[in-house]
A = this chain, B = another copy of it.
Amino acid sequence: MIFASRCVVVLVCLALAFLSPAQADEGMWPMSEIHRLDLNAKGLRIPVTTIYNPNQVSLVDGIVQIGGCTGSLVSADGLILTNHHCAFGAIQDASTPERNYLENGFLARDRADEVQAKGYTVRITESYSDVSQRVLSAVTPGMEAGTRAKAIEKRIKEIVLDTEAKYPGKRAEVAEMFVGKAYTLFIYTYLKDVRLVFAPPRAIGEFGGEDDNWVWPRHTGDFSFFRAYVGPNGAPADHSASNVPYHPRKYLQVAPQGVSEGDFIFIFGYPGRTFRHNAASYLDYEYRVRMPMVVAWYGWQIEQMENVSKSDATAALKVAPRIKSLSNTFKNYRGKLVGIRRTEMLKKKRDDESRLAAFIQASADRKEKYGRVLEDLARVYQKAEETSEREFLIQQLTRGADALRVAHTVYDAARERQKPDVERESAYMERNWKQTTDRLLLSLKNFHPGLDKTILKQLLVRAAQLPDGQKISALASLGVEASAIEQNLARVYGTTRVSDETFVRDLLSKSPDQIAQLDDPFIRLAVSFYPDSQALKEAEKNRSGELNKLYGLYLDAKRDFLGADFVPDANSTLRLTFGSIKGYRPADAIVATPITTLSGVVEKHTGQEPFDAPKELLELAGRKDFGRFAHPGLKDVPVAILYDADTTGGNSGSPVLNANGQLVGVNFDRAWEATINDYGWSPLYSRSIAVDVRYVLWVTLKLGRAAHLLKEMGVAE
């Protein structure tokens, strides 16, 4: 399944947006560009202006962001359809041992029954505008790379704070649409009273679990319903009994007849990050260095966690979410490596770039203008490779090992919060501070000292093997040989208090000096390690600034070369992509067809998790009780659909719409090879997966017995 990689502020990511020439099915198009697509020629049967119209109500107004995912408003009373995996936290939170909604599913019989989805917000895009000039007026031509990056980052924060001051209750964000070139200011409304309405049991919503994750054919009923509420005055309000359902400007029509193979579809959503048109040297670095490093490390961590889980049921519960999250990335990255190899993506990218290089060399003017941009980019990644192990270890020391992560975060926060708000790291700005501390405290619940020690030890052993000149001096106190490290760690884990919530809460109000005086071994380690971690952050910013400038140039050269229009890479802003219901050939002598069925659920059912379908589902399937939701050709209820639209992480929960703009599915995953979508789109392999609306409706009606929800959506039984 796909989780959005949340970038709180655009520049914090090392993500480097670039442009793509228009192609048949490739591209996550900003709404402002879709008029160039001629979607009607491609199969759309409604005017493009009914999809997107900045001056009037259009389909995009029916799309929201919820829980890091995309959601669709599907009724006049604020009913929202999204993925089960996006609702997971809310369902878990509402569950008790007596009322286990994860296991049994949840249905609110009426509005009073709907339970609060704590921590969930619904984000609605109110407007957006070009602020490129305002952002870029902060930089001067001769600026050094690091200074330039910081200047842009600071200006963006100023714009955000300025806008939020002007529109109380709204949130502002500035997205970098074209690296170092174009910036857009988005203004959002956040609805804060979100309630859970219906969720299938996890035996449906997670059917296939990790085994089927990133896999087609798929049989997961990955959907849930929420409802957004506002104050009696219609304005966003905290959860309250007096709140009323939100009445959206627009909601999507559900199409119970669904789609068939070959049908045109399009998708709205908030795709996270793609790196389609980065340099070949970038992909080479990713493929050869970074991804294998992540795969090896995640695989090793998963193994440790599974070992701990085997012998300790309590630990198993604690580490389960981490295993799930690591496994998701682990499988995704392995898929990427396979996909890149299979599509020969690196070779193609290099060939493209050779042509660009020849084009530059062919004119004195261009040689003067673009100079050695390709070599300079390659040099940046070459330099990154030289210190990649060191950087990886420093990152993991403050992220992967809990005790040190907590100590580092409280000290980092204390240091940052001494600065003026606008100069702080985004997470420590006032507008984000509550969320940051909530997350930190919540993370203490899953602390497991034995496992944490194993992970930290491995990182320290690797750090001790760094070449001279790259050693991390602060770690020397914990030993160099594995046995000494083991002994020292046994001691420090025995005495530290960084997993104690009261202790950590107290630290959050202390000054850096106060913290530095504390006699806790992990606090002391974090303080002495701080210069190293800050130096890395500084180096990253310098690199980002350098890349920022180089990619600006690279972009110009490429535009010159192609003489074509561009679409920016995805960056968590609203996009449209389109394609058709289409199978693919995952392997020699294998054809995957694009619609799975209820019979497939029965076929996969083993009675053992994750293939343990509810008894009632099996009975309904056994007597072919399909209602009106069978596909006429397949004579069976479609469960999931496959299509060649262009999606990535963040598209979870995105509505899949038919040629008439009606909802026919809820996007939730990609086929394994399509994990390469982050780097490139392949007509042969780029396939995304939605739960079919017929399965959504069939499960809601036949197993949930929630005829009232179908009625609310205007669907006859």
Contact = CB atoms under 8 A, between A and B. Distances in A.
Contacts of A597: 588-589
A593 B591 contact: yes
A589 B592 contact: yes
A41 interface: no
Interface in A205-264: 216-217, 219
Contacts of A506: none
B590 A217 contact: yes
A583 B595 CA distance: 19
Contacts of A615: none
A603 interface: yes
A599 B589 CA distance: 10
**Identical copies in the complex:** 2
A594 B600 contact: no
A237 to B, nearest CB: 45
A439 interface: no
A596 interface: yes
A216 to B, nearest CB: 7
B593 A590 contact: yes
Contacts of A590: 217, 590-593
A589 B342 contact: no
Interface string A593-627: 11111011001100000000000000000000000
A604 to B, nearest CB: 8
A358 interface: no
A216 B589 contact: yes
Interface in A424-480: none
Interface in A566-600: 583, 587-597, 599-600
Nearest to A216: B589
B603 A217 contact: no
A228 B217 CA distance: 49
A588 B342 contact: no
Nearest to A598: B588
A603 B589 contact: no
A590 B604 CA distance: 13
Contacts of A600: 587-589
A684 to B, nearest CB: 12
Contact of A588 (B217, B583, B587, B591): B217
Contacts of A219: 588
Nearest to A338: B606
A217 B589 CA distance: 6
Contact of A589 (B587, B589, B594): B594
Contacts of A589: 216-217, 583, 592-597, 600, 642
A219 B588 CA distance: 9
B342 A587 contact: no
Nearest to A218: B589
A570 to B, nearest CB: 28
A259 to B, nearest CB: 15
Interface string A126-148: 00000000000000000000000
A588 B599 contact: yes
Given A589-B594, A590-B590, A591-B591, A603 B216 contact: no
Nearest to A596: B589
Contacts of A583: 589
A583 B588 CA distance: 13
Contacts of A217: 587-590
Q: Among A590, A594, A600, A603, which residue has the most Cβ atoms of chain B within 10 A?
A: A590
A602 to B, nearest CB: 9
Contacts of A599: 588
8 contacts: A217-B587, A217-B590, A342-B603, A588-B599, A589-B593, A590-B591, A590-B592, A591-B592
Given A217-B587, A589-B642, 11 more contacts: A216-B589, A217-B588, A217-B590, A583-B589, A587-B604, A588-B599, A588-B600, A588-B603, A589-B596, A591-B591, A591-B592
4 closest Cβ pairs, A-B complex:
A588-B600, A217-B589, A591-B591, A589-B596
Interface of A: 216-217, 219, 342, 583, 587-597, 599-600, 603-604, 642
